[in-house]
Amino acid sequence: IKRVDQDRLAAASHRNMAAAYDRGFFDDLITPFLGLYRDNNLRADASEEKLAALRPVFGVKGGDATMTAGNSTPLTDGASVALLSSEDWAQAHGLEPLAYFTDAETAAVDYVNGADGLLMAPTYAVPRLLARNGLTLQDFDFYEIHEAFASVVLCHLQAWESEQYCKERLGLDAPLGAIDRGKLNVNGSSLAAGHPFAATGGRIVAQLAKQLAEKKAETGRGVRGLISICAAGGQGVTAILEA
Protein backbone atom coordinates (compact mmCIF):
# COMPACT_ATOMS: atom_id res chain seq x y z
CA ILE A 1 0.00 0.00 0.00
CA LYS A 2 1.74 3.17 -1.19
CA ARG A 3 2.34 6.11 1.14
CA VAL A 4 0.87 8.56 -1.38
CA ASP A 5 -2.41 6.62 -1.48
CA GLN A 6 -2.62 6.58 2.32
CA ASP A 7 -2.06 10.32 2.51
CA ARG A 8 -4.65 10.89 -0.23
CA LEU A 9 -7.27 8.94 1.74
CA ALA A 10 -6.43 10.80 4.95
CA ALA A 11 -6.66 14.20 3.25
CA ALA A 12 -10.04 13.24 1.78
CA SER A 13 -11.35 12.22 5.21
CA HIS A 14 -10.47 15.62 6.71
CA ARG A 15 -11.76 17.48 3.65
CA ASN A 16 -15.06 15.58 3.65
CA MET A 17 -15.66 16.02 7.36
CA ALA A 18 -14.82 19.73 7.28
CA ALA A 19 -17.31 20.21 4.46
CA ALA A 20 -19.93 18.20 6.37
CA TYR A 21 -19.50 20.44 9.44
CA ASP A 22 -19.73 23.56 7.28
CA ARG A 23 -23.04 22.50 5.73
CA GLY A 24 -24.51 21.61 9.11
CA PHE A 25 -24.58 17.84 8.66
CA PHE A 26 -23.40 17.21 12.22
CA ASP A 27 -25.55 19.86 13.90
CA ASP A 28 -28.14 17.36 15.14
CA LEU A 29 -25.69 14.47 15.54
CA ILE A 30 -23.19 15.99 17.96
CA THR A 31 -23.92 17.10 21.52
CA PRO A 32 -21.62 19.98 22.57
CA PHE A 33 -19.47 19.24 25.62
CA LEU A 34 -17.57 21.79 27.72
CA GLY A 35 -17.69 24.29 24.89
CA LEU A 36 -16.59 21.87 22.19
CA TYR A 37 -18.85 21.81 19.15
CA ARG A 38 -16.71 19.80 16.75
CA ASP A 39 -14.00 17.16 16.94
CA ASN A 40 -10.76 19.03 17.52
CA ASN A 41 -8.73 16.37 15.75
CA LEU A 42 -10.19 17.63 12.47
CA ARG A 43 -7.75 19.56 10.28
CA ALA A 44 -9.76 21.50 7.72
CA ASP A 45 -6.55 22.56 5.98
CA ALA A 46 -5.17 19.01 5.65
CA SER A 47 -3.60 18.29 2.28
CA GLU A 48 -1.61 15.53 0.67
CA GLU A 49 1.41 17.83 0.61
CA LYS A 50 1.25 18.53 4.36
CA LEU A 51 0.68 14.87 5.17
CA ALA A 52 3.62 13.85 2.98
CA ALA A 53 5.93 15.92 5.20
CA LEU A 54 5.23 13.78 8.29
CA ARG A 55 7.71 11.08 9.22
CA PRO A 56 6.57 7.45 9.57
CA VAL A 57 6.14 6.33 13.17
CA PHE A 58 4.11 3.09 13.01
CA GLY A 59 4.37 -0.32 11.42
CA VAL A 60 7.36 -1.38 9.34
CA LYS A 61 10.65 0.29 10.27
CA GLY A 62 13.22 1.72 7.91
CA GLY A 63 12.91 2.96 4.36
CA ASP A 64 9.71 1.03 3.65
CA ALA A 65 7.77 2.65 6.51
CA THR A 66 4.64 4.53 5.41
CA MET A 67 2.35 4.96 8.43
CA THR A 68 2.38 8.41 10.03
CA ALA A 69 0.44 10.28 12.69
CA GLY A 70 -1.52 11.81 9.82
CA ASN A 71 -2.62 8.68 7.99
CA SER A 72 -3.25 6.70 11.19
CA THR A 73 -6.24 7.44 13.38
CA PRO A 74 -5.56 8.98 16.79
CA LEU A 75 -7.05 7.54 19.97
CA THR A 76 -9.33 10.28 21.26
CA ASP A 77 -11.92 10.90 23.96
CA GLY A 78 -15.58 10.67 23.07
CA ALA A 79 -18.84 8.79 23.42
CA SER A 80 -21.69 7.80 21.15
CA VAL A 81 -25.22 6.48 21.40
CA ALA A 82 -27.73 5.25 18.84
CA LEU A 83 -31.37 4.33 19.48
CA LEU A 84 -32.26 0.92 18.06
CA SER A 85 -35.86 -0.26 18.34
CA SER A 86 -38.56 -2.27 16.66
CA GLU A 87 -40.68 -0.48 14.07
CA ASP A 88 -43.76 -0.88 16.28
CA TRP A 89 -42.01 0.74 19.26
CA ALA A 90 -40.85 3.66 17.12
CA GLN A 91 -44.36 4.25 15.79
CA ALA A 92 -45.85 4.04 19.27
CA HIS A 93 -43.45 6.75 20.45
CA GLY A 94 -43.90 9.01 17.44
CA LEU A 95 -40.39 8.44 16.11
CA GLU A 96 -39.53 8.28 12.41
CA PRO A 97 -36.63 5.85 11.79
CA LEU A 98 -33.66 7.31 9.94
CA ALA A 99 -32.73 3.86 8.65
CA TYR A 100 -33.28 0.15 9.16
CA PHE A 101 -30.56 -2.11 10.53
CA THR A 102 -31.03 -4.90 8.00
CA ASP A 103 -28.34 -7.45 8.86
CA ALA A 104 -24.92 -7.85 10.44
CA GLU A 105 -22.02 -10.28 10.30
CA THR A 106 -18.93 -10.74 12.44
CA ALA A 107 -15.64 -12.54 11.88
CA ALA A 108 -12.33 -13.06 13.64
CA VAL A 109 -8.84 -14.02 12.53
CA ASP A 110 -5.98 -15.73 14.35
CA TYR A 111 -3.45 -12.98 13.87
CA VAL A 112 -1.08 -14.51 16.43
CA ASN A 113 -0.53 -17.93 14.88
CA GLY A 114 -2.25 -17.53 11.52
CA ALA A 115 -1.33 -15.78 8.30
CA ASP A 116 -3.81 -12.90 8.63
CA GLY A 117 -3.03 -9.47 9.99
CA LEU A 118 -4.66 -8.09 13.14
CA LEU A 119 -7.25 -5.96 11.33
CA MET A 120 -8.19 -8.19 8.37
CA ALA A 121 -11.33 -9.84 9.79
CA PRO A 122 -13.80 -7.57 7.92
CA THR A 123 -12.53 -8.97 4.63
CA TYR A 124 -14.03 -12.31 5.73
CA ALA A 125 -17.25 -10.93 7.20
CA VAL A 126 -18.33 -8.79 4.25
CA PRO A 127 -18.59 -11.57 1.63
CA ARG A 128 -20.67 -13.70 4.02
CA LEU A 129 -22.96 -10.74 4.66
CA LEU A 130 -23.32 -10.08 0.94
CA ALA A 131 -24.03 -13.72 0.10
CA ARG A 132 -26.72 -14.04 2.76
CA ASN A 133 -28.52 -10.97 1.41
CA GLY A 134 -28.07 -11.72 -2.30
CA LEU A 135 -25.99 -8.58 -2.86
CA THR A 136 -22.74 -7.67 -4.56
CA LEU A 137 -20.15 -5.26 -3.21
CA GLN A 138 -21.33 -2.71 -5.75
CA ASP A 139 -24.98 -2.69 -4.56
CA PHE A 140 -24.56 0.19 -2.09
CA ASP A 141 -25.06 3.94 -2.09
CA PHE A 142 -22.55 4.50 0.72
CA TYR A 143 -19.61 2.64 2.25
CA GLU A 144 -18.56 3.45 5.80
CA ILE A 145 -15.23 1.74 6.46
CA HIS A 146 -13.58 2.51 9.80
CA GLU A 147 -10.32 4.33 9.15
CA ALA A 148 -8.20 2.70 11.84
CA PHE A 149 -5.32 3.37 9.48
CA ALA A 150 -5.55 4.58 5.90
CA SER A 151 -3.45 1.55 4.99
CA VAL A 152 -6.05 -0.82 6.47
CA VAL A 153 -8.93 0.67 4.47
CA LEU A 154 -6.90 0.46 1.27
CA CYS A 155 -5.75 -3.07 2.13
CA HIS A 156 -9.34 -4.27 2.58
CA LEU A 157 -10.41 -2.72 -0.72
CA GLN A 158 -7.41 -4.21 -2.47
CA ALA A 159 -8.10 -7.63 -0.93
CA TRP A 160 -11.67 -7.65 -2.26
CA GLU A 161 -10.33 -6.73 -5.71
CA SER A 162 -7.72 -9.51 -5.62
CA GLU A 163 -8.65 -12.76 -7.35
CA GLN A 164 -5.92 -14.61 -5.45
CA TYR A 165 -6.96 -13.32 -2.02
CA CYS A 166 -10.66 -13.92 -2.62
CA LYS A 167 -10.07 -17.47 -3.83
CA GLU A 168 -7.33 -18.60 -1.44
CA ARG A 169 -8.36 -16.79 1.76
CA LEU A 170 -12.09 -16.22 1.35
CA GLY A 171 -12.97 -19.33 -0.65
CA LEU A 172 -14.77 -17.34 -3.34
CA ASP A 173 -14.98 -18.18 -7.02
CA ALA A 174 -14.16 -14.63 -8.08
CA PRO A 175 -13.09 -11.33 -6.53
CA LEU A 176 -15.75 -9.06 -5.03
CA GLY A 177 -14.45 -6.25 -7.22
CA ALA A 178 -13.92 -2.53 -6.73
CA ILE A 179 -16.23 0.03 -5.19
CA ASP A 180 -17.00 3.57 -6.30
CA ARG A 181 -14.56 5.56 -4.15
CA GLY A 182 -16.87 8.55 -4.41
CA LYS A 183 -19.28 6.68 -2.10
CA LEU A 184 -16.64 5.94 0.57
CA ASN A 185 -16.75 7.82 3.89
CA VAL A 186 -18.40 10.76 2.16
CA ASN A 187 -18.67 12.89 5.33
CA GLY A 188 -15.29 11.92 6.72
CA SER A 189 -14.47 9.16 9.16
CA SER A 190 -12.05 8.16 11.89
CA LEU A 191 -8.90 9.75 10.47
CA ALA A 192 -10.63 13.12 10.79
CA ALA A 193 -12.94 12.52 13.75
CA GLY A 194 -10.54 10.51 15.87
CA HIS A 195 -11.21 7.09 17.37
CA PRO A 196 -12.69 6.83 20.88
CA PHE A 197 -12.55 3.07 21.53
CA ALA A 198 -16.07 1.56 21.79
CA ALA A 199 -17.65 4.80 20.53
CA THR A 200 -16.62 4.72 16.87
CA GLY A 201 -19.19 2.07 15.94
CA GLY A 202 -22.05 4.18 17.27
CA ARG A 203 -20.75 7.24 15.43
CA ILE A 204 -20.57 5.33 12.17
CA VAL A 205 -24.08 3.89 12.54
CA ALA A 206 -25.59 7.31 13.30
CA GLN A 207 -23.62 9.02 10.55
CA LEU A 208 -24.61 6.45 7.92
CA ALA A 209 -28.25 6.45 9.05
CA LYS A 210 -28.49 10.20 8.50
CA GLN A 211 -26.71 9.97 5.14
CA LEU A 212 -29.23 7.36 4.00
CA ALA A 213 -32.19 9.43 5.20
CA GLU A 214 -30.88 12.46 3.32
CA LYS A 215 -30.23 10.45 0.16
CA LYS A 216 -33.69 8.88 0.26
CA ALA A 217 -35.34 12.29 0.67
CA GLU A 218 -33.27 13.64 -2.21
CA THR A 219 -33.84 10.77 -4.66
CA GLY A 220 -37.21 9.37 -3.57
CA ARG A 221 -35.91 5.82 -3.78
CA GLY A 222 -34.68 3.19 -1.37
CA VAL A 223 -31.00 3.44 -0.43
CA ARG A 224 -28.48 1.12 1.19
CA GLY A 225 -25.19 1.46 3.06
CA LEU A 226 -22.43 -0.94 4.12
CA ILE A 227 -20.54 -0.66 7.40
CA SER A 228 -17.19 -2.39 7.86
CA ILE A 229 -15.28 -2.05 11.13
CA CYS A 230 -12.06 -3.73 12.22
CA ALA A 231 -11.52 -4.12 15.95
CA ALA A 232 -9.02 -5.23 18.54
CA GLY A 233 -8.38 -8.92 19.05
CA GLY A 234 -8.59 -9.73 15.34
CA GLN A 235 -12.32 -8.98 15.14
CA GLY A 236 -14.42 -7.60 12.31
CA VAL A 237 -17.99 -6.25 12.49
CA THR A 238 -20.00 -5.49 9.37
CA ALA A 239 -23.59 -4.41 8.79
CA ILE A 240 -26.13 -3.31 6.20
CA LEU A 241 -28.35 -0.27 6.81
CA GLU A 242 -31.23 0.67 4.52
CA ALA A 243 -33.70 3.52 4.22
Q: Provide the mean pLDDT of the chain.
A: 96
In tens, the pLDDT along 23-65 reads 999 999 999 999 888 888 999 999 999 999 999 988 777 778 9
In tens, the pLDDT along 93-131 reads 999 999 999 999 999 999 999 999 999 999 999 999 999
Burial of 203 per CB tally in 10 Å (0-12, 13-18, 19+): buried
| Higher local confidence (pLDDT), 35 or 142 | 142
Q: What domains, with CATH codes, occur in the chain? A: 3-242 (3.40.47.10)
Q: Which amino acid is at 160?
A: W
Cα–Cα distances (Å) from 26 to 17, 39, 193, 203, 208, in that order, read 9, 11, 12, 11, 12
Distance from C-alpha of 231 to C-alpha of 112, rounded to nearest angstrom: 15
Average pLDDT over residues 169-195: 98
CA 65 to chain centre: 23
Predicted pLDDT at 126: 99
3-state secondary structure of 128: helix
Average pLDDT over residues 129-147: 99
Q: How many CB atoms lie within 10 A of CB 195?
A: 21
